[in-house]
Amino acid sequence: MPGVAGIALVLVLALLPASSTAQSLEAVVAGVEGAYARIADLRADFIQQAFNKSLGQTIKAEGTVYLKRPGKMRWEYRAPAPQQIVSDGQSLWVYTPELNQVNVGEAPRALAGPAGSFLAGLGKVSAEFNVRFLNPAARTDEVGNPVLDLTPKRPTPVLTRLILTVDGKDSLVRKAVLYDQFDNTVTMLFTRVTVNPGLADRLFIFTPPKGVAVVPLEPLK
């Protein structure tokens, strides 16, 4: 099961907007690509459930995420324990107050591609993923929201499948389920999503508090 930082790098996928009014798969994909290309930045609250299949264990978390072109992100976890994961697209900081420690390293290459930055890459959904409806016979869930099943054409250990549920009223993804190579899953529910709020660049730079230990960040596997 990937660490919190690894999860955060792929979870940015789950926030892309989509066209929920379209009935055909082609139209839905075209809506995703069109809406996605118009986003400069985004803010949302999230509830996360990470399920470890081998242990049969689920860890719940919640917080707020901020994203901005190109490759900038800030994940602020409030529960079960405070943690901040910040990147300006070049550097990556993982601050854990309980440990009085911040891990620092270069932003992984994943941030530049579809597995890490939906603002930079998912305007080409059809090029990066094989896409279908989760249930071709019933293209929506019980309340009428389209549900897409995406398989990366170049899967990575932390992302082998992505299921997106699109809100039929505001055309934003409200739920995402991500699978890794071991069939562990991360389920995300999003609320209070704001598109193009004009986020400041300083939000994506982290300055370690005085007295905090600075430790090199181990590369993600």
Round to whole Å and give the CA distance between 147 and 138: 9
Contacts of 27 (CB under 8 A, 6+ apart): 19
pLDDT digits (tens, 9 = 90+) for 79-107: 999 999 999 988 999 999 999 999 998 88
Residue 198 corresponds to which tokens in the numbers above?
């004009």
Q: Give the helix/strand (H/E) hosting 24.
A: none
What pLDDT, on a 0 to 100 scale, did the predictor assign at position 46?
93
CB atoms within 10 A of CB 20: 21
Tokens of 85: 């994961």
- Which DSSP state fits 107? P
> What residue segments make up the domains of the chain, in order of their start?
4-216
Which superfamily, per CATH, for 4-216?
Lipoprotein localisation LolA/LolB/LppX (2.50.20.10)
pLDDT along the chain (221 residues), means of 10: 57 51 70 75 93 95 91 92 92 94 82 49 74 88 86 87 79 83 93 93 94 83 51
User: What integer pLDDT is reported at residue 114 of this predicted model?
Assistant: 41
Which pLDDT does position 30 carry in this prediction? 75
β pairing state of 101-106 and 213-216:
parallel
What whole-number distance in Å separates Cα of residue 17 and Cα of residue 173? 6
